[in-house]
Structure 1
Amino acid sequence: MNFFIFILAAIIVILAAIQLNKYGDVINQKSSMSGAMIGTLLIGGATSLPELTTSLTAVYIDSPDIAVGNMLGSNVFNILILVVFDLIYRHKRAFNSVDSKTHLPIANTGFVMTALLAVAIFWSNSPSLFNIGIEMYLLVIIYILVMKRMDSEEEEIEQTSNLTLKQGVIRFIMAALVVFIAGSVLTIAGDAIAQQTGMNASFVGSFLIAASTSLPELVTVFAAFQMAKYSLAFGSILGSNIFNLQLLVITDVFYQKGAILNIASMSNITTAILGMLMIALTIYSLQRPSIKRMIAYAIPSAATIILYFVASYVMF
């Protein structure tokens, strides 16, 4: 029964999150808000709401491993989505088709942030302030500096929706409520599955729940590759990943039993290190010179996929 509830809640989260992204874009078009930073925060917040909801619910039911694993696992699964589609559409050579100068700063930021979390998890007793880990304050500072740099150039937003701002806001809120309820059910069901089957809670958070909450990104990337808008796919995944880590900061704020990374299981470091390796391969693929041989081009993406499944087996 718990598996049925989990699957049903996951489907609802996916459908509602797609609507969140749609109406978040309407608000971005119709409101007076402008600039890369505001747009990224709005759309990033829309697509990342499932991760936030599930992690906050995990905090409420006192399951820090699911909360931490969900955020780290979502980032790992997002990279997996990107490289899987790159492998499927390998003849298009997506990594060679995008402007590396645009995406490398975000990818590098994601690597640094993930490395910071890996150190905090390994330290297991890192310093905290107001029951919030010092690393969380550093994450916020890094994010603000990067977003200010992104916001240095304004972009004109194309008007593609016929909906009014009021209609967009109302529908956005309705979709957010659905995600909030379904995401909470998803987390509770996931925790019940972990207890029922004896599976590691970190595995449930990092792979089962994280995969479910990241499926809206899968739809976005699939559509981008279909339209050959590879820069949109890379920007969506890499930008969403650093935004997700800001949601981990919010999770730590609500977990008032102490710094959440000090309490979470050491097994979460597997997911953090996996994230660093996958991002490192992505960075390499973005900055390497154009490769003519198809097999040589596909090696980094194939290696990333193998890494993911090996880590899944280890965590399981």
Structure 2
Amino acid sequence: MIILIFLLAAAVVVGAAIYLNQFGDVISKKSSLSGAVVGTFLIAGATSLPELTTSLTAVYIDNPDIAVGNMLGSNVFNLLILAVVDLLYRKRRLFQKINTKANVPSALIGLLFLIILIVSLLIPGTISLFGVGIEMIVIVLLYVLSMKYISSDDGEQEEVPTKDYSLRTAVIGFIVAALIVFVSGSILSISGDRLAEATGMNASFVGSFLIAASTSLPELVTVLAAFKLANYNMAIGSILGSNLFNIQLLVLTDVLYRDAPILSAVGSSHIYTAILGVVMTLVIVYLLLRPSVIRNQWRYAAPSLVMALLYIVASYILF
């Protein structure tokens, strides 16, 4: 029964998050809030709301392993999405048709964030300030400082089309979808906690892989929509940007977890998820920087295949 509830909650999260993304896009285009910064924040918040509500509920039920695992696992799953799409559409040479300057900084900053988290997980007795790990404060400061170095492709790009809702309908729909995501995300976290207890599965595994995969499916839909239009910069940029945003949500999770700095309250298995994220991000950086003269499709797709295999092996080990 608990498995059925988990699967139903995951399905509702995905469906509601897709509509949340669509309504948010309409609002950013049709309201006085329109503009690159506000629009990006609105869409990023909409796409990441499942991760946020799930992790905050995990904090509320005092399961920090699911909270941290969900954020780290979502980032890893997002990179897996890129790898799988690149494999399936290897003839299109995804990473040979993008603006390197617009994407490498985001990948490198995400890599730096993961390294900071790994160091914090490895060092016992993390330093805290007002109950928040010092590493989280460093991450926020670096995020703010790095914003000016994250380039965006200023060229004309085709946008992913959305349904033509009225502004009033979009606002109401956004609020309703957000409430649905909040409730279903909470149920997903609670049922995941119960699933770990009932089956004896590691809570870190449940958070890092099962829940993380469920809450990251909206990103998959966004990437496929952008890829269908051959908007490859949007496909890659949305994933790398989502990963940076998720780490900031992890900071918020630490702020709201008042027992101790959250990284000091979780199991050591999260180190492996973070290391997996580092390795997969390094592969992404390599794909972004390597020469675009590879003609053989399987030689081109080999790094993405490596990423997919690494994810499967890590899932098996943690399980």
Shorter-chain TM-score bucket reads over 0.9
CA distance in 2, matches of 1:173, 1:180: 10
Matches within 5 A, 1:247-258: 247-258=249-260
Deviation (angstroms), 1:142: 1.7
Match runs of 1:252-271 below 5 Å: 252-271=254-273
1:88-112 CA distance string (max 9 Å, x none): 0000000000011101111111111
Matched, 1:313 2:316: yes
Q: Say which of 233, 236, 239 aligns to 1:234.
A: 236
Q: Which runs of 5+ in 2 are unaligned?
A: none
Q: CA deviation at 1:36?
A: 3.5
Distance in 1 (CA, whole Å) between partners of 2:242 and 2:66 is 19
Contact kept, 8 Å, 1:36 with 1:153, in 2: the verdict is no
CA drift at 1:296: 1.7
User: Match of 2:55?
Assistant: 55
| 1:282 aligned partner | 284
- Deviations along 1:222-252, one digit per CA (max 9) or x if unpaired, are 2222221111110111100000011101111
Which amino acid is 2:190 matched to?
Answer: I
Q: Offset at 1:160? A: 6.8
Alpha-carbon distance between aligned partners in 2 of 1:165 and 1:206, rounded to the nearest angstrom = 37
Corresponding residue for residue 85 of structure 2: 85
Aligned residues of 2:9 and 2:187 also touching (Cα < 8 A): yes
The Cα of 1:161 is off from its aligned counterpart by: 6.0
Quote the Cα distance in structure 2 between the aligned partners of 1:152 and 1:296. Answer: 29
Q: Give 3-state SS (helix, strand or coil) of 1:215's partner.
A: helix
Shift of 1:20: 0.7
Following TM superposition, by how much is the alpha carbon of 1:156 offset from its aligned partner in structure 2, in angstroms? 9.6
CA contact (8 A) 2:136 2:251 kept: yes
- Alpha-carbon distance change, 151 to 224 in structure 1, aligned in 2, over 3 angstroms: closer
Distance 2:40 2:119 in 1: 28
Structure 1 residue 109 corresponds to structure 2 residue 109? yes
TM-score by length of 2: 0.94
- How many positions carry a matched residue from both structures? 316
Q: 1:302 to 1:152 in 2, by over 3 A?
A: closer
Task: Structure 1: give runs of 5+ residues left out of the alignment.
Answer: none
Question: Aligned equivalents of 2:226 and 2:154: distance in 1?
Answer: 23
Moved more, 123-132 or 144-153: 144-153
User: Deviation string for 1:29-68 (max 9, x for gaps)?
Assistant: 1223354332222111100000000000000110000000
**Higher mean displacement: 292-301 or 14-23:** 292-301
2-structure distance, mates of 1:137, 1:64: 19
Match of 2:189 in 1: 187
Q: Which amino acid aligns with 2:199?
A: T
Q: Give how far 1:148 is off.
A: 4.0
Check if 1:4 corresponds to 2:4: yes
Question: Matches of 1:27 and 1:146 in 2, distance apart?
Answer: 27
Q: CA deviation at 1:5?
A: 0.1
How far 1:26 moved relative to its partner?
A: 1.1
1:315 alignment partner AA: L
Moved more, 68-77 or 219-228: 219-228
Show the counterpart of 2:305: 302
Q: Secondary structure at the match of 1:17?
A: helix
| 175-184 vs 228-237, which moves further | 228-237
Q: Is the 8 A contact 1:34 1:154 kept in 2?
A: no
* Cα 1:101/1:161, change in 2 over 3 Å: same
Q: CA RMSD in A?
A: 1.9
Q: Percent of counterpart pairs with the same letter?
A: 58
- Pairwise CA distance, 1:299: 1.0
Q: Following TM superposition, by how much is the alpha carbon of 1:165 offset from its aligned partner in structure 2, in angstroms? A: 3.1
Residue 32 of structure 2 aligns to a residue whose secondary structure is: coil
Does 1:22 find its partner at 2:22? yes
